[in-house]
Amino acid sequence: MDTTEFLIKLILVISVFGISLLIAMYSTYAERKVAAFLQDRLGPNRAGPFGILQPVADGVKMFMKEEIIPANADKFLFIAGPSLMMLTACMTGVVIPWGGELTIGRNTFNLQITDVNIGLLYIFGVVSIGVYGIMIGAWASNNKYSLMGGLRASSQMISYELAMGISIIALVMTTGTLSTKEIVEQQSSWHWNILYQPLGFLIFLVCAFAETNRTPFDLPECETELIGGFHTEYSSMKLGFYLFAEYINMFISSAILATLYFGGYNFPFIESWGLSPNAVTIIGTLLFFGKIFFFIFFFMWVRWTIPRFRYDQLMNLGWKVMIPLALFNLFITGIITLWRNGAF
Amino acid sequence: MYSTPYDYLPMAIMAAVAFGFVAVTMAATHLLGPKRKSEVKLDTFECGIESQQNARFPFSIKYFLIAILFVLFDVEVIFMYPWAVNFKEGGLEGFIEMLVFIGILLAGYLYIIKKGALKWE
Amino acid sequence: MTLTVFYLLSALSVFSGLMVVLSRKAVHSVLYLVFCFFTIAGHYLMLNAQFLAAVHVIVYAGAIMVLFLFVIMMLNLNLAAEAQKTPWIKISAVILSGLMLLVLVASVKGAEELSAAQPQNDIGLVKNIGNILFDKYLLPFELISLLLLSAMVGAVLMGRKEPQPQNE
């Protein structure tokens, strides 16, 4: 890898990082607007036109608040918790194919930062590391509510990780690769995986909700029982990181959903329009973000529509419904794929 | 497609960028905010009453059991990845091999359910 | 370049490994161990053992260390209540770990084929591992399921003996 290549990667990394932050920022705004719309209110409308500067105001407020580290807390871990949460939230963007190839002059730029053989395993790995941010922060707070919230969060996340893994395996059986780029390329035109893996998509979607701790799976922070859950003791930007990481996770989950099941940057019949390759790439990327925004909206829609689960319901759903269902999906996928390949 | 170890370098770059951002933000929020500390403010929050002991108490063994079962099933899921990638070449034979593997673990799963290990009360 | 990365990773692994032992708080040790696992995964990547690297992160860092964290959170309750270590315990710990070190050094010394990384060697890719696993090593693979099954039964039996009232 020479210097120019390194610089290109660096620029790509910084832009993906920046875009994730920007979208997460405006997701907080969108969430409040969507909530307001669903509840027949106006939502934030004071900071700037239509309240468009609200996220900036929130950010500044977070910075200016007093930083409180409880006397009983473990200082190092108390700071490490939200930092880890933020770090893991940002890491997945590296393997997502944000678009095809752009040709500028004689150089071709790939809009994916890196395409590795084990792309899906990498995503799975980052998801499995996501538990630490919450657990460490919750334990370091030395607060009973935080501890309960952290325990709930971590057991919920690890429980749903299993079903998520099995649903991905059914997908891999049909694609035969773990590279995200190849999975997207296989879904060219209208051959989206949602058509071949509807049940797998459903399982993955539910698990994505559980992994991001979004309603109806937001028991770790249900304020009626646990005050703030794992971030009860947090203030200033450390609280900001926890809240912010949730929105980044939501953005990344939406991107993964769109990549794996909704064709990524592919769109039906785009080839027949006779556009130049660069135009196709740009339209594809825009459409990809369109799909992502749809899923982000879906996350919010569900949050303001469906009530929260009870803890035993949550665990039962994870272990006694999702896992058998995912295994069933795997079985059916295997049978159908073999039948289509003429094994019987 | 073939990726070399160099393809993993951007992950390190991303980690460095994210780490830098986190460190700068943490330092900034530490320096910017007011610092008016008092004993009560630094106390553990317990809905207004004086805090009773600390949060270092033993919790339900169910959480621990969930973690153990997670490790076991996670290993199972990991073993399925190399199989799934080769699924189409493996054909019916490979499928049956995996069904045996899953079948044995399914027996364990049914045992767990039967014993009520996942029952929350 | 490769050599620089290798030394950097090795230094980080050794440092985090030492911190695991030297930290006074068990939870800190767990975090350092997780970090150590990441650096080792980096080593696997440099050997082009990509699947192994991913498994190392997912299973060790993502699953087993979560279990460790649960155990430590459950047992490491108050610092004051921590058991005092008698000199005898310390001495036996030193002897035991010394023996362990001896075994490790001996095994490394015995291995002659410790050649440098060969990026052309792609046995570590997922597809090749799958081919070997379901061809040459099919029986051990199926036996693993029995091992996991017995572990499951053991865990359930252990978890059920707890007569304590629920904390929740």
pLDDT tens profile A251-290:
999 999 998 888 888 877 766 777 777 888 888 888 889 9
Asked if A188 and A151 count as a contact pair (C-beta separation under 8 A), the reply is no
Q: Residue holding tokens 């407020």? A: A61
- Which 3-state string (H, E, C) describes B34-50? CCCCCCCCCCCCCCCCC
Nearest to A216 by CA among A226, A204, A207: A207
pLDDT at C16: 93
Q: How far is CA A93 from the centre of its chain?
A: 9
Model pLDDT for residues A191-238, shown as the tens digit of each residue: 888 888 889 899 999 999 888 887 787 766 666 666 667 777 787 888
Asked if C137 and B101 count as a contact pair (C-beta separation under 8 A), the reply is no
Asked if A84 and A76 count as a contact pair (C-beta separation under 8 A), the reply is no
Instruction: Measure in Å the smallest separation between the Cα of A288 and chain B Cα atoms.
Output: 22
Among the ranges given (A254-263, A294-303, B14-23, C129-138), the one the predictor scored with the smallest mean pLDDT: C129-138
ipTM for the complex shown? 0.85
Instruction: Measure in Å the smallest separation between the Cα of B107 and chain A Cα atoms.
Output: 12
Q: How far is CA A239 from the centre of its chain?
A: 19
d(CA C52, CA C40): 10
Instruction: Measure in Å the smallest separation between the Cα of A292 and chain C Cα atoms.
Output: 26
A105 in helix, strand or coil? coil
Q: Residue holding tokens 């059916």? A: A332
Asked if C133 and C141 count as a contact pair (C-beta separation under 8 A), the reply is yes
pLDDT band at A317 (very low <50, low <70, confident <90, very high): confident
pLDDT band at C118 (very low <50, low <70, confident <90, very high): low
Highest mean pLDDT: which range of A48-57, A222-231, A244-253, B35-44? A244-253
Please give the residue that has the higher pLDDT: either C138 or B52: C138
Which CATH code, of 1.10.760.10, 1.20.140.10, 2.50.20.10, 1.20.120.1200, is assigned to C1-77? 1.20.120.1200
Determine which of B49, B61, B77, B102 to mutate to test the interface with A (most A C-beta atoms within 10 Å): B77
d(CA A185, CA A77): 42
DSSP state of B7: G
Contact A68 B14 (CB under 8 A): no
pLDDT band at A71 (very low <50, low <70, confident <90, very high): confident
- The closest CB to that of B15, out of A68, A91, A236, belongs to A91
Asked if C40 and A105 count as a contact pair (C-beta separation under 8 A), the reply is no
Instruction: Measure in Å the smallest separation between the Cα of C45 and chain A Cα atoms.
Output: 11
Which ranges of A42-177 would DSSP assign to H, the alpha helix? 54-64, 75-91, 119-129, 131-141, 144-175
Phi, psi (rounded to 5 degrees) for B93:
-60, -50
Asked if C127 and B82 count as a contact pair (C-beta separation under 8 A), the reply is yes
- The closest CB to that of C153, out of B2, B61, B111, belongs to B111
Point out which residues pair with A107 in neighbouring strands.
Answer: A104
Q: Residue holding tokens 């099919």? A: C138
Return the residue of A nearest to B103 by Cα: A327
Domain B5-114 - what CATH class?
mainly alpha
- The closest CB to that of A114, out of B7, B41, B106, belongs to B7
- Across chain A, the runs of DSSP E, i.e. the strands, are 101-104, 107-110
Determine which of A178, A179, A211 to mutate to test the interface with C (most C C-beta atoms within 10 Å): A178
pLDDT at A224: 63
pLDDT at C13: 92
A104–B contact, CB cutoff 8 A: no
Nearest to A77 by CA among A244, A246, A249, A230: A230
- Which 3-state string (H, E, C) describes chain A? CCHHHHHHHHHHHHHHHHHHHHHHHHHHHHHHHHHHHHCCCCCCCCCCHHHCCHHHHHHHHHHHCCCCCCCCCCHHHHHHHHHHHHHHHHHHHHHCCCCCEEEECCEEEECCCCCCCCHHHHHHHHHHHCHHHHHHHHHHHCCHHHHHHHHHHHHHHHHHHHHHHHHHHHHHHHHCCCCHHHHHHHCCCCCCHHHHCHHHHHHHHHHHHHHCCCCCCCHHHCHHHHCCHHHCCCCHHHHHHHHHHHHHHHHHHHHHHHHHHCCCCCCCCCHHHCCCHHHHHHHHHHHHHHHHHHHHHHHHHHHCCCCCCCHHHHHHHHHHHHHHHHHHHHHHHHHHHHHHCCCC
d(CA A329, CA A160): 16
Q: What is the mean pLDDT of residues B80-88?
A: 86
**Residue A294 pLDDT > 70:** yes
Beta carbon pairs, A and B, within 8 Å:
208
Instruction: Measure in Å the smallest separation between the Cα of A40 and chain B Cα atoms.
Output: 32
pLDDT at A54: 85
pLDDT at C96: 93
- The closest CB to that of C126, out of A118, A139, A140, belongs to A118
Q: Residue holding tokens 């497609």? A: B1
Please give the residue that has the higher pLDDT: either B60 or C26: C26
Return the residue of A nearest to C63 by Cα: A128
Side chain identity at residue A89, one-letter code: A
The domain locations on chain B are 5-114
Asked if A219 and A315 count as a contact pair (C-beta separation under 8 A), the reply is no
Euclidean distance between the first and the last CA atom of chain A, given in angstroms as a whole number = 48
Q: What is the mean pLDDT of residues A338-342?
A: 81
Return the residue of B nearest to C153 by Cα: B108
Among the ranges given (A126-130, A162-166, A199-203, C2-6), the one the predictor scored with the smallest mean pLDDT: C2-6
pLDDT band at C102 (very low <50, low <70, confident <90, very high): very high
pLDDT at A133: 87
Contact B9 A1 (CB under 8 A): yes
pTM score, whole prediction: 0.87
pLDDT at C36: 93
pLDDT band at B121 (very low <50, low <70, confident <90, very high): low
H helix and E strand count, chain C: 7, 0
pLDDT at B50: 65
Model pLDDT for residues A198-211, shown as the tens digit of each residue: 898 999 999 998 88
**High-pLDDT (> 70) share of chain A, %:** 96
Contact C164 B61 (CB under 8 A): yes
Asked if A236 and A68 count as a contact pair (C-beta separation under 8 A), the reply is yes
Asked if A24 and A248 count as a contact pair (C-beta separation under 8 A), the reply is yes
Asked if A203 and A326 count as a contact pair (C-beta separation under 8 A), the reply is yes
The domain locations on chain C are 1-77, 125-162
Q: What's the mean per-residue pLDDT of chain C?
A: 80
Among the ranges given (A53-57, A313-317, B68-72, C81-85), the one the predictor scored with the smallest mean pLDDT: C81-85
Asked if A182 and B1 count as a contact pair (C-beta separation under 8 A), the reply is yes
- The closest CB to that of B120, out of A70, A176, A312, belongs to A312
pLDDT at C11: 92
Model pLDDT for residues A100-130, shown as the tens digit of each residue: 777 777 777 777 888 888 888 888 888 888 8
pLDDT at A1: 59
d(CA C46, CA B50): 54
pLDDT at C89: 85
- The closest CB to that of C61, out of A77, A116, A129, belongs to A129
Q: What is the mean pLDDT of residues A47-76?
A: 82
Q: What is the mean pLDDT of residues B21-34?
A: 85
Q: Residue holding tokens 């063994």? A: B61
pLDDT band at C168 (very low <50, low <70, confident <90, very high): very low
Q: How far is CA A254 from the centre of its chain?
A: 5
Question: For residues C13-26, b (16+ Cβ closer than 10 Å) or e, as one string?
Answer: beebbebbeebeeb
d(CA A245, CA A237): 12
Q: What is the mean pLDDT of residues A290-314?
A: 86
Token pair recorded at residue A99:
């678009």
Residues of C with CB below 8 A from A140's CB? 27
Token pair recorded at residue B66:
């969930």
pLDDT at C76: 65
Q: Which chains touch A (3 or more CB pairs under 8 A)?
A: B, C
B59–C contact, CB cutoff 8 A: yes
Q: What is the mean pLDDT of residues B95-115?
A: 86
Nearest to A252 by CA among A112, A141, A93: A93
Residues of C with CB below 8 A from A312's CB? none
Please give the residue that has the higher pLDDT: either A13 or B4: A13
Return the residue of C nearest to A134 by Cα: C66
Instruction: Measure in Å the smallest separation between the Cα of B14 and chain C Cα atoms.
Output: 15
Q: How far is CA B62 from the centre of its chain?
A: 16
Model pLDDT for residues C84-94, shown as the tens digit of each residue: 677 888 889 89
**Residue A55 pLDDT > 70:** yes
- Across chain B, the runs of DSSP E, i.e. the strands, are none
Side chain identity at residue A316, one-letter code: N
Interface of B with C in 64-103 (CB under 8 A): 64-65, 67-72, 74-76, 78-79, 81-83, 85-86, 90, 94, 97, 100-102
